[in-house]
Chain A
Amino acid sequence: MSQTVFEPWNDPQAKPLIQFKNVTKRFGEFVAIDNQTFDIYEREFFALLGPSGCGKTTMMRMLAGFEKPTEGTILLAGQDMAPIPPNKRAVNMMFQSYALFPHLSVWDNIAFGLKRDRKPKDEIAERVAQMLKLVRLEKFAQRKPHQISGGQRQRVALARSLAKAPKLLLLDEPLGALDAKLRQDTQFELVDIQEKTGTTFVIVTHDQEEAMTVASRVAVMDDGKIMQADTPANIYERPNSVYVADFIGDVTIIEGRATKNGNGYDIDFAEGQPTLHAESGKDFQNGQTCHLAIRPEKVAITADKPDTRNALKGTILDIAYLGNLSTYHVKLENDQIIKAQTANTRRLSRRSFTWEDSVWLSWTDTAGVLLEG
């Protein structure tokens, strides 16, 4: 594999398209964004992910120009954005409600921004045709927004915001109004369009699956702060905090005390339970409180005691059957619950474990992530 990987954030030479420098946004007493500094690079598909009220929408509205930072600066291609009003920014936004103009046809909606630039007529027509083709809506050009379906409206909104070929496209929960099936298809379509047009996308979403699917990097936000901004794989496999580990996917957090041992640490987490071991490059004092985060799919569940260092005995409390997978909630003697997940490769009737069964849980030294807090 000699293909170059798209990772401008690891390249010290790369110049970021957007730079947040110590940006704080307050609404009265409320701090929506708390002193954030980060970069977004050209051609990135950057996702802002977090629960509602975490500040992700404020972040996006500041990029669009609808809100101004209280402190700090936002640079776009090296230029300070603060004095530039929304209608003069090379930034377009796709609104959560789509905000299609109901009195204009699909064609006129897409042409709206181009007409404001006083482009020649044939140039506008050509660009609109190109956009209609991109979102596969050629047949619906003359319809009004209320005469097309929700999924089609979503594509009109996308075409309209891309028509002016912005340097940066902002997407505010773009798939929120679509049903689950359509949503999945549209996610791949979005990625496809992003790659075709080479536009930098910033997407705001509260749906972690969506963020993981579409984004090159995901920023997990909480309380006006970016907790971690990294690739989906790193966010999932190498979370840097208990919050991120817990927010993304399913996880079991075991709190214990660390003691240095070899390449990692031994963890004592409860009276009468064996000592666990996890490899980690992080620095912990001997006896310091630590958290071991372990994903359910990395925990093996067996009837007999396995021959590994990390092995715990418990009884099955609950089974969540998801069709392709089953998640077992196993209770240890000290009441700690650990989740283990197995693929249902066999039919249900031949499943090996059931409620109240006594089982062994085990995982490798590298399966868990050791976190401070």
Chain B
Amino acid sequence: MRRVTWFNATSLTLGFAFLYLPMVILIIYSFNAGKLVTVWAGFSTRWYGELLQNQAFLDAAWVTVKVAVLSSSIATVLGTMAALVLVRSGRFAGRTLFSGMIYAPLVMPEVITGLSLLLLFIGLNIDRGVLTIVLAHTTFSMCYVSVVVSSRLVSFDQSLEEAALDLGCSQMQAFFLVTLPIIAPAVISGWLLAFTLSLDDLVIASFTAGPSSTTLPIKIWSSIRLGLSPEINALSTLMISVVTVGVISASLISKRSSLKRQADERAAGT
């Protein structure tokens, strides 16, 4: 073990304080009994109770979950397909261009993505609502899925699929019986990543949402403009927990499967 020096301890404290102090304060104040956001008046779960009574918030939460599940599922299918093509088809003319185009939304400013989608929906005359948010979220989360899945596919032994074909599988069967089960951990963590991204997106959603389809981040943003309320703190705390659980399980799934594999291989003595 390396010795803990004063310098190390200080940098660690500073770094984590910088990252997490705002959230910790928010979480603490969500348990505040008083109505004023900034004055501590004792511990209570009152605002969580009131939150559950607030139909507008509950509606927004339901829309958000719907959008997140739908968009992350579509993004997982499309992202996996894109990853398969990019990793498998070897070199074809314009391959670099294609992969660049798939990863571009990762660095594209959200405002621009949102604006361009808005223009598209207006141009196509699509009423803005849950559908448009789903489409928009699929667009930007798909590239994250494709990054995660293609990094797994790079180390995937192509001869496994050839073996499946050799043993009588069609291309389709080979994918569903052999390739998909093996890359499943990557696909699942891609889904979870897309899910959490969709859950906390404000910018793109506010461009593409309609009057009847307010997502939770939009709802929070608009209520804050009317003044802070302890209810928002409670809601944000809940969202932080959901996102944290999502991200942690995504990383645990991929880590556990690789650890288990290593342990088994050691046990087999090879």
Task: Please give, as numbers and ranges, the residues of chain A lying within 8 Å of B181 by CB-CB distance.
Answer: 103
Q: Which residues of A, 80-95, contact B by the 8 Å Cβ criterion?
A: 85-88, 91-93, 95
A148 within 8 A of B: yes
Q: Which residues of chain B from 167 to 199 have a CB within 8 Å of any chain A CB?
A: 167-170, 173, 177-178, 181-182
Q: How many A-B residue pairs have CB under 8 A?
A: 70
- A86 and B165: CB pair below 8 A? yes
Confirm or deny: A113 has a beta carbon within 8 angstroms of a beta carbon on chain B.
yes
The interface on chain A, measured as residues whose beta carbon lies within 8 A of the other chain's beta carbons, has a size of 30
- State how many angstroms separate the Cβ of A58 from the closest Cβ of chain B: 14
Residues 232-264 of B contacting A (Cβ, < 8 Å): 261, 264
A65-83: CB near B (< 8 Å → 1, else 0) gives 1100000000000000000
Q: Are A101 and B160 closer than 8 Å at their CB atoms? A: yes
Contact with B along A320-358 (1 / 0, CB 8 A): 000000000000000000000000000000000000000
Interface of B: prevailing SS: helix
Interface centre among A65, A116, A144, A164 (most CB of B within 10 A): A116
Determine if B270 is an interface residue (Cβ-Cβ < 8 Å).
yes
Which of chain B's residues have a CB closer than 8 A to the CB of A64? 162, 166
A116 and B173 contact, Cβ closer than 8 Å, known pairs A97-B157, A102-B182: yes
Bound Cα distance A149, B166 (Å):
24
Which residues in chain A, 96-153, are within 8 Å of chain B measured between CB atoms? 96-97, 99, 101-103, 112-113, 116-117, 144, 146-150
CA distance A99 to B261 in the complex (A): 16
In the bound complex, residues from chain B placing their C-beta under 8 Å from that of A96 are 159
B159 and A103 within 8 A (CB): no
Please state if B270 and A150 are interface contacts (CB–CB under 8 Å): yes
List the A residue with the shortest CB-CB distance to B263: A146
Cα–Cα distance between A352 and B166 once the two chains are bound (Å) = 59
B190 to chain A, nearest CB (A): 18
Q: How far is the CA of A96 from the CA of B94 in the complex (A)?
A: 32
A295 within 8 A of B: no
Interchain CA distance A144-B265 in the complex, whole Å: 10
B154 → chain A closest CB, angstroms: 16
Give chain B nearest CB distance to A117 CB in angstroms: 6
Do A87 and B165 touch (CB < 8 A)? yes
The contact string, 1 if C-beta is below 8 Å from chain A, for chain B 136-175, is: 0000000000000000000001011011111111100100
Q: Provide the residues of chain A in CB contact with B173, threshold 8 Å.
A: 116
In the complex, what residues of A have CB within 8 A of residue B264's CB?
144, 146-147
Report the nearest A residue to B158, measured CB to CB: A99
Given contacts A87-B169, A99-B157, A102-B182, contact A147 B268 (CB under 8 A): yes
Name B residues whose Cβ lies closer than 8 Å to a Cβ of A. Answer: 157, 159-160, 162-170, 173, 177-178, 181-182, 261, 264-265, 267-270
Q: Hey, which bits of chain A sit against chain B, CB under 8 A?
A: 64-66, 85-88, 91-93, 95-97, 99, 101-103, 112-113, 116-117, 144, 146-150, 160-161, 164
Chosen A-B contacts, 24 in total, with CB atoms closer than 8 Å, are: A65-B166, A66-B162, A87-B167, A87-B170, A95-B159, A99-B162, A101-B160, A101-B163, A101-B164, A112-B164, A112-B177, A113-B167, A113-B168, A116-B167, A116-B168, A117-B168, A146-B264, A147-B267, A147-B268, A148-B268, A149-B268, A149-B270, A164-B167, A164-B168
